Amino acid sequence: MANFTDVNKYERGLKQMTKAGDQAEDIKEKLIALIPQLKKQAEEAVVTQREVEAKKVEVDKEVVEVNKEASAAGIESDKANAIEADCNEALQQVMPIYYRAVAAVERLQNADVQEMARVAVPSEGLKIVS
């Protein structure tokens, strides 16, 4: 009986090995069938990689140019900010004078204008005021 059991085990083992061998052969055939497709994809990947590298060179050149332009724009911005600061400072000095002049004009009366018109030869003080 022991021999019969051992034979059955060996037969089952052989069947399993045959089945595993068949499955391995199927996988091998499928892999062999995929080789042309894999080669084609590898070639396409190389072409795509070359295209990307070429575009990267172009992009790098553009980045350099954009950085130069950004630097120049920053310099111009600094100049404009300095001019604006100068203008604001000048305005702070001039605006009080402007407001006093506007107030003085608003206080003028017709009689003051008529008096100025009647003076044939204005005095030095009147010349300064007018």
Our count of domains for the chain comes to: 1
User: Which range among 18-22, 72-76, 82-86 shows the weakest confidence by mean pLDDT?
Assistant: 18-22
pLDDT reported for residue 68: 95
Full domain range(s) for residue 45: 2-129
pLDDT reported for residue 99: 94
pLDDT reported for residue 112: 78
Residue type for 77, please? S
Q: Can you tell me the distance from the alpha carbon of 96 to that of 40, in angstroms, rounded to the nearest whole number? A: 81
pLDDT reported for residue 129: 65
Residue in this structure with the two tokens 């295209």, named with its chain if needed: 51
pLDDT reported for residue 113: 78
The 10s digit of each residue's pLDDT in 31-55 is: 999 999 999 999 999 999 999 999 9
- Top-confidence residue, 13 or 23: 23
Q: How far is CA 26 from CA 14, 30, 45, 74, in A?
A: 18, 6, 28, 67
Count other Cβ atoms within 10 Å, centred on residue 48: 10
DSSP string across 8-67: HHHHHHHHHHHHHHHHHHHHHHHHHHHHHHHHHHHHHHHHHHHHHHHHHHHHHHHHHHHH
Q: Can you tell me the distance from the alpha carbon of 58 to that of 65, in angstroms, rounded to the nearest whole number? A: 11
- Looking at the predicted structure, is the pLDDT value of residue 127 above 70? no
Confidence of residue 122 (pLDDT cuts 50, 70, 90): confident
